[in-house]
Amino acid sequence: MIDSDVYDSLPGERTLMRILVGEADRYEGQLLYEVIVDVLRRRGLAGATVLQCVMGFGARRAIHSLMSDVTALDMPVVIECVDTAERLETVLPELDGMIGGGVITFERAAVITYRPDRERTPKGGIS
């Protein structure tokens, strides 16, 4: 569980970790991207988002595209997570043990706002 003071301490210069793996990649029988998101959540990182790609290629140079019936079965997915570099680095050994093929990158990110959804009161003021 994330500490409530993280909501205030996360904005500022942080690090974006970007992980690219195949949509069909598995780890111990589960979809790899789902396992990675669960690891990031359990480790208390600020959040993670999985993005499905339309087209791409990797180290083997094979094009994966929604336009092909064959390669559309294993499209690239991107998992993004923003936190401090130190916190992200602590999870790298675990990720390294799970990812057979793919890439992990770090880049600087300026976090402007980080907070949970606000409770919305319906019009009329009755909740």
pLDDT of 74 reads 73
pLDDT digits (tens, 9 = 90+) for 20-67: 999 999 999 999 999 999 999 999 999 999 998 887 777 777 777 766
Q: Is residue 6 pLDDT above 50, yes or no? A: yes
Q: Sketch the domain layout of the chain as residue ranges.
A: 9-111
Q: How many CA atoms lie within 13 A of 115 on its CB side?
A: 6
Bigger pLDDT: 65 or 103? Answer: 103
The predicted pLDDT at position 127 comes to: 47
Cβ contact 7:113 at 8 Å: no
- Residue 95, classified by CB atoms within 10 Å of its CB into exposed (0-12), middle (13-18) or buried (19+), is buried
Is it the case that residue 2 has pLDDT exceeding 50? no
DSSP lists the bridge partners of residue 110 as 13
pLDDT of 120 higher than 70: no
Which architecture, in CATH terms, is 9-111?
2-Layer Sandwich (3.30)
Query: pTM above the 0.95 mark?
Result: no
Other CB atoms within 10 Å distance of the CB of residue 99: 18
